[in-house]
Amino acid sequence: MNEKVKDIAARIKGLRLIEGLSSEDVAKSIGLDVQEYMKYENGEDDMPISMLYAVSDFYHVDLTEILTGVSPKLRDVCYVKKGEGLKVERYDQYDFQSLAYKYANRKIEPLLVTLNPDNQPELVTHKGQEFNYCLEGLVKVVVGDSAYVLSPGDSLYFNPMIPHKMVTIDDKPAKYITVILL
């Protein structure tokens, strides 16, 4: 695993130790098998973003703090210039950039996502609500048994507790904005 994943794992383990909890307690509270949780906490496996959200919710800390070790400070305005979003390395198939990582106590998580046509992501689920807005390319969004093709300017709002994934449908990268209600 790369160093960023190991750093995130160490922060997650640190939170557990500070709270005086067992790995079993945390795993049960966030809905994971203890062996799976331990792989994440030990930096042995890449962590899905849904797990990171569950951990940040469980400990009542901002996701940015888990990802970077720094607590966001902004409360009124968060300005992020093009290309300066915080890279969130969670799945090889997606390139995530957090567009509001400096803003404290976010209720939504806006992300710029780039899809690589060579990768085929797996279905995922997470809490909240999700909104996707296509910027470039063609994005096929699979939600349960249904599929939707988004062209630039198209959007889709759905329940992310339904297994879902996004893929490109041609040989070009695609970009979209996803906003997740936390």
pTM of the model: 0.77
**What is the torsion angle, in degrees rounded to the nearest 10, for the CA atoms of residue 26, residue 31, residue 33 and residue 34?**
0
Domains of the chain: 3-68 (1.10.260.40), 86-181 (2.60.120.10)
Tokens for 40, please give them.
């994440």
- pLDDT tens per residue, the chain (182 residues)? 578 888 999 999 999 999 999 999 999 999 999 999 999 999 998 888 788 889 999 999 988 899 888 888 888 998 999 988 888 765 566 788 999 999 988 889 999 999 988 877 888 888 889 999 999 999 999 999 999 999 999 999 999 999 999 999 988 999 999 999 87
C-alpha span between 39 and 44 (Å, rounded): 5
Contacts for 122 with CB less than 8 Å, ≥ 6 apart: 165
